[in-house]
């Protein structure tokens, strides 16, 4: 098992330091961190600069120049050597920023689509992708290898798929690879890759559940476990999880985690804390239309050791429908296959998007339960009325004669 904190990451060839990981975890600040060579990239994407030559018909108008400030000197961006751009700019960008930069010009597209840059980004976001099996699968992805894998794995699956994405004629995957990474305060505390066969009768008939740890296994971390009333708040704010489900044959992937917790509960007696992550997927009927929704729930159980360090004793994945029933492997595999093949979100505000989807699911689940209770109550009243009517009729014929 490859688990460890920030000190362990330095030993991994493809992993990143704590600072680099913090720069790449979210794609909201696309062009931050260009400290050594401050390049004015905003001028590259302004429409008025790109189209100024076409819009101006005056012979005296001079073509615009895109400049960059390098150690106080002003120069055209085209004169900057590609090695400088790659070494001092592209390596400082996260995945969404690098993808946006590739749309600016053909030169930047050529530089920003190199496999080694995207392998590095994948390893920084998900240290589990360093393992030989996962790295080999990523390298075989069509249309860009690690760049295509990042596009599949970074955004969340959409809650309401279109009809074209929900219909699938391909065979279910015969094997699933789970690549799981857990960070706390930007420190890696758990990482593991698990392969699961999906063709056995035991998998298809039993309730779907993937456990990354054996029942008695405990993973110690160098992170101090938060104590007191602030435990839940600290884990809610500072813990992130990624659970990438990979189809190695079909070369598809989907991230089933909301990135940040949707709920945190602490047991009043044992002190163990259960941190829950979730993603909401559509459940389709035989005709391909959406008939309901299911929740892919990831549970992480944490506790404190005698020395005060955080311990991880459970990392599991289950699929639950709107009635609270856990689906078996066969039904879960159909839903996961559609998620693997379906469209993904845009990758923006993943935490808020995940929590919003989970709130919608819980609201629909509550309404479904209340509707079921009302229907059962109505049936109970009808049964009572029918029974009283039959009894009254029987008594009338008996005592009336």
Q: 34 and 28 in contact (C-beta within 8 Å)? A: no
CA-to-CA distance for 323 and 25, rounded, in angstroms? 35
* 87-104 residues labelled b (16+ CB within 10 A) or e (exposed): ebbbebbbbbbbbbbbeb
| Model pLDDT, residue 208 | 94
- Which segments in the chain show pLDDT lower than 50? 1-14, 21, 23-71, 73, 163-166, 287
Vertex 348 angle, CA 347 and 353, to 5°: 95
Q: Say how many residues make up the chain.
A: 401
Q: What is the largest CA-CA distance in the chain?
A: 117
CA-to-CA distance for 363 and 327, rounded, in angstroms? 20
What phi, psi does 192 have (nearest 5°)?
Answer: -160, 150
CA-to-CA distance for 347 and 369, rounded, in angstroms? 32
Helix (H) or strand (E) holding 300: strand 290-304
What phi, psi does 122 have (nearest 5°)?
Answer: -60, -40
Q: Which residues contact 20 (CB under 8 A, 6 or more apart)?
A: 124
| Model pLDDT, residue 94 | 85
DSSP string, 125-181: H-GGGGSHHHHHHHHT-TTTTHHHHHHHHSSPBPSS--HHHH---SPPPSEEEEEEE
Task: Estimate the share of the chain in helix, then strand, then coil, as percent rounded to the nearest 5.
Answer: 40, 25, 35
Q: What is the distance in angstroms between the CA of the first residue and the CA of the last residue of the chain?
A: 84
Tokens of 361: 């699911």
309-320 and 290-304 strand pairing: antiparallel
Q: Which residues contact 365 (CB under 8 A, 6 or more apart)?
A: 322, 323, 324
Tokens of 391: 């009894």
276, β-bridge pairs: 263, 299
| Model pLDDT, residue 6 | 39
DSSP string, 194-259: EEEE-SSHHHHHSBPEEESS-TT--EEEEEEPP-GGGHHHHHHHHEEEEEEEEETTTTEEEE-S-B
CA-to-CA distance for 271 and 295, rounded, in angstroms? 26
Helix (H) or strand (E) holding 293: strand 290-304
For 14-88, list the strands marked E by DSSP. 67-70, 73-76
Q: How far is CA 216 from CA 4, 182, 311, 313, in A?
A: 18, 19, 12, 8
| Model pLDDT, residue 41 | 34
CA-to-CA distance for 371 and 362, rounded, in angstroms? 14
Q: How far is CA 297 from CA 208, 274, 315, 321, in A?
A: 11, 12, 11, 11
pTM above the 0.85 mark?
no
């Amino acid at each position: 098992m490859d688990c460890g904190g920030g000190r362990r990451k330095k030993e991994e060839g493809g992993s990143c330091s704590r600072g680099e990981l913090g720069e790449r975890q979210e794609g909201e600040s696309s062009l931050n961190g260009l400290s050594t060579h401050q390049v004015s990239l905003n001028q590259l994407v302004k429409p008025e600069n790109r189209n100024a030559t076409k819009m101006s018909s005056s012979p005296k108008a001079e073509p615009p120049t895109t400049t960059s400030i390098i150690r106080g000197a002003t120069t055209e961006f085209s004169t900057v050597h590609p090695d400088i751009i790659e070494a001092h700019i592209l390596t400082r960008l996260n995945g969404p920023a690098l993808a946006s930069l590739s749309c600016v010009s053909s030169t930047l597209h050529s530089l920003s689509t190199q496999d080694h840059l995207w392998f590095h980004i994948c390893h920084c976001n998900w240290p589990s992708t360093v393992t030989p099996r996962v790295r080999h699968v990523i390298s075989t992805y069509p249309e860009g290898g690690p760049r295509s894998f990042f596009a599949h794995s970074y955004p969340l699956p959409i809650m309401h798929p279109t009809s074209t994405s929900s219909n699938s004629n391909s065979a279910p995957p015969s094997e699933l690879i789970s690549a799981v990474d857990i960070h706390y305060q930007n420190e890696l505390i758990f990482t593991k890759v698990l392969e699961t066969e999906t063709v056995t009768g035991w998998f298809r008939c039993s309730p779907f559940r993937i456990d990354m740890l054996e029942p008695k296994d405990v993973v110690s971390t160098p992170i101090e476990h938060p104590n007191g009333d602030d435990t839940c708040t600290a884990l809610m704010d500072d813990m992130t999880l990624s659970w990438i489900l990979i189809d190695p044959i079909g070369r598809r992937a989907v991230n089933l985690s909301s990135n940040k917790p949707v709920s945190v509960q602490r047991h009043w007696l044992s002190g163990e804390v259960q941190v829950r992550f979730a993603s909401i997927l559509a459940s389709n009927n035989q005709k391909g239309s959406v008939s309901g929704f299911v929740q892919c729930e990831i549970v992480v159980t944490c506790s404190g050791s005698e020395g005060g360090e955080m311990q991880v004793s459970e990392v599991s994945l289950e699929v639950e429908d709107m009635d609270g029933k856990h689906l078996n492997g066969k039904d879960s595999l159909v839903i996961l296959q559609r998620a693997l093949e379906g469209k993904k979100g845009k990758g923006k505000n993943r935490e808020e998007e995940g929590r919003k989807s989970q709130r919608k699911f819980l609201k629909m689940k509550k309404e479904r339960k209340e509707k079921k209770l009302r229907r059962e109550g109505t049936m109970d009243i009808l049964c009572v009325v029918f029974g009283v009517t039959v009894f009254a009729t029987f008594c009338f014929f008996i005592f009336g004669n």
